A and B are shown apart, each in its own frame.
Chain A
């Protein structure tokens, strides 16, 4: 059973370009979370999705950032018109359900560098 997969692992963009980050949850998991890790910082929650629904986007910037988790295919975190401050590691996690006992399993992350 493959773990959480993210691609690309590294992404370089120039200011103003778009970044698309993909996350395939563990098999059987229907809950996906995106977190951002700035250099020397802990992870900060961005958005929580279930299939075809955004449940909580309270941690995601209102502008330029969007997320989706379609019925088929991976979850996508999209950053439009990237700025240098978007440079960070973006981690996806998945869980089987929402119950308190359910553990989140993390992918290897996508490291975004904005030049």
Chain B
């Protein structure tokens, strides 16, 4: 079956780097996504990576994909208090349907 796992909590100090990890099980996944959810809000797409890529960088965000181990990570450089939120990893399977499969989310707390 399809499953996405994430650690539930991460705490860092302002200015440090944050690394949020995710593992998935569907080897046919075509795209993998990172979404950010602030309290009481919807999901904001942060970035995504195609399954034939190893790395993608977008300003302070770096996504690393290890397809062999089915491991995805999101690194946030120079973490700010405004980065405090829940971060969801999601995969889109290789089948014909377009629904996303989400992890339970990692709550990032940034201490000043």
Residues of A within 8 A of B (CB): 4, 6, 31, 33, 35, 40-45, 48, 55-56, 59, 91, 93, 95, 98, 100-109, 111
Contact = CB atoms under 8 A, between A and B. Distances in A.
B97 A104 contact: no
B98 A108 contact: no
A95 B43 contact: no
B101 A45 contact: yes
Given A100-B31, A100-B92, A101-B31, A45 B100 contact: yes
Contacts of A48: 97-99
Interface residues of B, number: 27
A33 B105 contact: no
Contacts of A105: 45
A43 B97 contact: no
B104 A42 contact: yes
Interface of B: 4, 30-31, 33, 35, 40-45, 48, 50, 88, 90, 92, 94, 96-105
Contacts of B88: 42-43
A33 B33 CA distance: 16
A48 B93 CA distance: 14
B41 A45 contact: no
B30 A100 contact: yes
A56 B105 contact: no
The 5 A-B pairs of least Cβ separation, nearest first, read A42-B102, A45-B99, A106-B43, A108-B42, A100-B30
A73 B41 CA distance: 24
B43 A43 contact: yes
B99 A59 contact: yes
B88 to A, nearest CB: 6
A101 B102 CA distance: 17
B41 A108 contact: yes
